Amino acid sequence: MSTIRFRYASLTATVVLVFVLSLLPGLAPADSSTPAGAMASLQKTIEQIIDILKDPQYNSPEKREIRRESLRKLVYQQFNFFLMARGAVGPRWREFTPQQQQRFSDLFKMVLEDTYLAKIEGYQGEKVMFNKEILESPTITRVESLVHAKGQEYKMFYRMTPSKEGKWEVFDIIIEGVSLINNYRSQFQSILSKEGPAGLLAKMEAKFGASGTSGSSRAASTGSMDLSLDKKSGPTTGKETPATP
């Protein structure tokens, strides 16, 4: 039977460290010559996230989910999950009906939410530096950063595009040369080839849709972050990728 292996959890967890750490003293600020640029947009979100993480009113266990919801809203406004879902499927996206596309996007968002929101509250002193933003095309900008953790260095790039309203949104993340979107695409293709969009959606519904709850809510209640539909482990970048508790 076909299986999906959501193997990128340890890598994508690192992305949260950029949000949490990049505005701390000593780290590189956004290029002041492009105040409305992609890097500046990321840093604005970071400021809001840090304010929430530092707010003592959320310290009690009963306020944990309220804080998660506040963080969730900020992440949602910075990431375009529909574009990420479309990219993860690739050319076969046109085989999905509009309703299937929307449902897949919602479920894919839950997959990523499992990774981001369960990790954002517990980084372990990793250092992050934004380097530069590079215009790849008139509508795509790449924001480059370095993450320093446990004596190792990781290259992390955000690919961003402006929305119709002109707001910069993340649609892919590249860690040590590995694209988040391409990684998922390679996993989805075998299922799509054998079972089509309905089969892929059925597997994702079984994992994320049945309870009607988000992955982060399950992670909070179980203390775990198992994103896989089987027990196999996935590839790494050759380094021990930093992960927060």
Structure tokens at 172: 């892919």
> For residue 137, what pLDDT is reported?
92
Overall pTM surpassing 0.85 (yes/no): no
* The pLDDT of residue 97 is above 90: yes
Specify if 242 maps to a domain.
Answer: no
Specify if 82 maps to a domain.
Answer: yes
Specify if 159 maps to a domain.
Answer: no
Specify if 203 maps to a domain.
Answer: yes
- 108: containing domain: 9-127+180-222
Higher pLDDT, 179 or 213: 179
Specify if 69 maps to a domain.
Answer: yes
> For residue 35, what pLDDT is reported?
37
Structural domain total, the chain:
1
Specify if 196 maps to a domain.
Answer: yes
Specify if 245 maps to a domain.
Answer: no
Specify if 237 maps to a domain.
Answer: no
Q: Which helix (H) or strand (E) holds 1?
A: none
Rounded to the nearest 10 degrees, the angle between the axes of helix 180-204 and helix 81-89 is 90
* The pLDDT of residue 212 is above 80: no
Angle at 136 between CA 131 and CA 139, to 5 degrees: 115
Higher pLDDT, 176 or 120: 176
